[in-house]
Amino acid sequence: MHKNLPVTVKSKDVTLGRAKSLLGITSKILNSKSLVSSGKDLIDIDEGWMKRLWTWAFMNGIYDDLIPRDKYKVKKLTELNIEEKDITELPKEIGNLINLTELSFWDTNITELPREICDLINLTDLSLRYSRLAELPKEIGNLINLTELSFWNNNITELPKEIGNLTNLTNLCFGENNIIVLPKEIGNLTNLVELDLKKNNIIELPKEIGNLVNLTELRLDYNKITEIPREIGNLVNLSELDLSFNQLIELPKEIGNLANLTQLSLSANNITELPKEIANLTNLTNLSLGNKITKLPKEIGDLINLTSLSLCYSKLAEVPKEIGNLTNLTYLSLEYTDIIQLPKEIANLTNLTYLNLQNNNITELPKEIVDLTNLTSLDLMCDYLILTHEQEKWIEELKNNGCEVKL
């Protein structure tokens, strides 16, 4: 009897083990049902955000060619461009369109961006123009794949420092807003090629702007900038620089480092003189200098590639004879200055097609001016100007050749 006892105990252990195994399988089955139920709930939630997005789209007249009413197509959406809609707000559900690479809103009444929009980490192009946006969420710094960011014509007063995280940006536009100060973190955006901040209320530029060494276009016109940091001289790839309609008093000599500039606009500032280093800008084709300038440096004559030169609305009293070196000029504007006379060397500018001398103090023209035979527009509306007989004949010939002459 005692010899068979261990066998009986072993049999009980096996039975108990099988029971535990069966309980385990049952538990798995129950858990599996729970997972299925949970999955169904997830599907319901998934479809729920879509329905809310579709409702918003319907209420705002956005048809299914822009936002598909198909759950598979809407998930695969890569571009969403909405124009001229009376939209006042964006739904947070837009943040679920995770495959979007381009998102654009034009001419709307949007005042706020939901921070969920910053979950769209695949975006490369984000634009909201001609709207009423007042601020950007700091989470915009999460959109690290952006290459183009444009918020033209809104009511934005400041840029969050997190904008400095967007190091893949090549184009940044915040023109026509109410920005006063730029964060120094803008200097992190070293891949920028175009930066447009025109028509804001910017008072000063951070020296870190000098880090943007790949910039080719910089537009800062119509602001309240009083000083340009010398670090601007680091932007050696700039081809276009617009600083017009600011409150500048002087230019740093480092502006002479910008040897690739082709267009430079300094109109409507308080600059009284130019640094001689401007002579280094030998690739300039367009130069606008209307200011409180009283005298031009003779080095202006080194800018031999100029085709357009505007000195209008300045305090300029005389034109240096070196202007005669600018033989590629086709456009010369000298209206509303204090000029008394022109140098005879102006006759070297035989490629001129436009010459404006309106409202000056000029009493006579150099006799050599009759060599300017390619003019198509000539304005001589000066109160004290007296023409010689030869000059009158010259004007008649110009008129006969189709030139528009104002006297």
Per-residue pLDDT of the chain (407 residues; tens, 9 = 90+): 444 444 433 444 544 444 344 334 334 433 443 333 344 343 344 679 999 999 999 999 999 999 999 999 999 999 999 998 889 999 999 999 999 999 999 999 999 999 999 999 999 999 999 999 999 999 999 999 999 999 999 999 999 999 999 999 999 999 999 999 999 999 999 999 999 999 999 999 999 999 999 999 999 999 999 999 999 999 999 999 999 999 999 999 999 999 999 999 999 999 999 999 999 999 999 999 988 888 899 999 999 999 999 999 999 999 999 999 999 999 999 999 999 999 999 999 999 999 999 999 999 999 999 999 999 999 999 888 899 999 999 999 999 999 999 99
- Residue 252 buriedness (CB in 10 A; 0-12 / 13-18 / 19+): middle
Distance CA 250, CA 213 (A): 23
Q: Which residues have CB under 8 Å from 310's CB, separation 6+?
A: 267, 287, 288, 289, 290, 331, 333
DSSP secondary structure, 51-67, as one string: HHHHHHHHHTT--TTTS
SS3 state of residue 378: strand
Report the predicted TM-score, pTM, of the whole model to 2 decimal places.
Answer: 0.85
- Token pair 């571009």 is at which residue? 79
Distance CA 26, CA 32 (A): 10
Residue 9 — φ and ψ, nearest 5°? -65, -40
Other beta carbons within 10 angstroms of residue 82's beta carbon come to 21
In the chain, the largest separation of any two C-alpha atoms, in whole Å, equals: 150
